[in-house]
Amino acid sequence: MERARRVLPAGGFGNVSFDIVIREGRGGRVWDVSGNEYVDFLLGSGPMFVGHAHPEVVAAVREQLPKGFTFFANNEPGIVLAERIVEAVPCAEQLRYVSTGTEADLYAMRAARAFRGREKIVKFEGGYHGMSDYSLMSLAPRRPANFPRPVPDSAGIPRSVEDEVLIAPFNDVAAVERLIESRHDEIAGVIVEPFQRLLPPAPGFLQALREITARFGIPLIFDEVVTGFRFAWGGAQEYYGVTPDLCTLGKIVGGGFPLAAIAGRAEIMAHFDRSRVGEDRFLFQVGTLSGNPVAAVAGLATLDILRRPGAYERVFATGRALMEGFAQVLREAGVPGRVVGEPPLFDVFFAEGEMRDYRATLRADAAKQRHVNAALRARGVLKGDSKFYVSLAHDERDVAQTLDAFRHAIATLPGERASAAPE
């Protein structure tokens, strides 16, 4: 870490906020350079859904490497992976590859603008859509503004971008309907995480959003960089039963390598094809590593594993065991808290009341969250500042260790019956 601080701003890559250097990962566990072993619920921020260094993914990559790393041209693994994604994802008729979720979301918004001939994008407060200027509007505002005014989340964003983004509250059908009805002629598209960070959609919210956008001919974009192939074979759009016009994919589809995609209706994806839409409506997009064959074979091997009977049932069973166990520990300890999310992806909010939108999450006790995260790490359980990512590789031993560590973390909360802490 001393070496890192000399050459890296803040001593890191800009990802996790704690001092740790990972040496290797296998299955559902990782080891740091000091030899400490952890049950890994960080999972590289989600891509390692079948576990680290899965033998079948490793074998696929080893087979590809002698054939070449990248070509800046079509390659067979990339074409086959595209076919597999189009077959699986309800909205996908065609797709275009990029290397990161940030790029995918940026191009999805640009495609909506090209298709609609309008400029403004509606996004939801607290929604994360990568690191572009447009996406970093009201992701995590410390002082939320009145809707639909956006709040920039970073230095260096031009003020003019604020005029192109409209902000709505997640899970509030009436508010988003008022916004779209009043400004539909300015709106190019609506982008939403169907499962926003950790917040499930309220019953009927996504269905209403689909109806409102369809009514005015506005493309609906599901950001499925996180949820794609995680909640179901067809992603969150299959899981929740709502089909958007476009979606973005990443993380799992690259098997741990840099690969992402924009997918959707052919008439919108046509804007990536100059011969179909003409020069004025053509959406220019290239990427040095787009459709990289090494990433594509890793993605194909990962999807082959997930397609097997029982794969999703196993992930959901593991996640439910953890969620129910955490809830029981909180009840027994009398600690206010809610386990929020879906079995493949969840966390604990140390607050009372329902968690429906970003502003509700601000009630959570951040100090308790930091204490619990640190206490878990001290007992060999690794997670990010928020989110437990559950993988196919996690097993009963991992669940037992995690619940024991969580029980200890809760018992040692300052002022929360600390004397009950186990030895």
Domains and CATH numbers, the chain: 2-54+310-420 (3.90.1150.10), 68-306 (3.40.640.10)
Give yes or no for residue 415 having a pLDDT over 80.
no
- What number of other Cβ atoms are within 10 A of residue 281's Cβ? 13
pLDDT at residue number 419: 37
What length is written for the chain?
Answer: 423
| pLDDT digit string, tens, across residues 130-183 | 999 999 999 999 888 999 999 999 999 999 999 999 999 999 999 999 999 999
Task: Give yes or no for a contact between 95 and 82, defined as CB atoms under 8 angstroms apart.
Answer: yes
| pLDDT digit string, tens, across residues 42-100 | 999 999 999 999 999 999 999 999 999 999 999 999 999 999 999 999 999 999 999 99
Coil vs helix vs strand at 230: coil
| pTM greater than the 0.85 cutoff | yes
| Residue type for position 372 | V
pLDDT range class, residue 380, cuts 50, 70, 90: very high
Sheet holding 388-389, edge to edge: 338-342, 345-349, 388-389
Give yes or no for residue 8 having a pLDDT over 50.
yes
CA torsion angle 344 350 356 361 (round to 10):
-110
Q: Return the sign of the alpha-carbon dihedral for residues 306, 311, 314, 320.
A: positive
Active site residues: 128, 223, 251
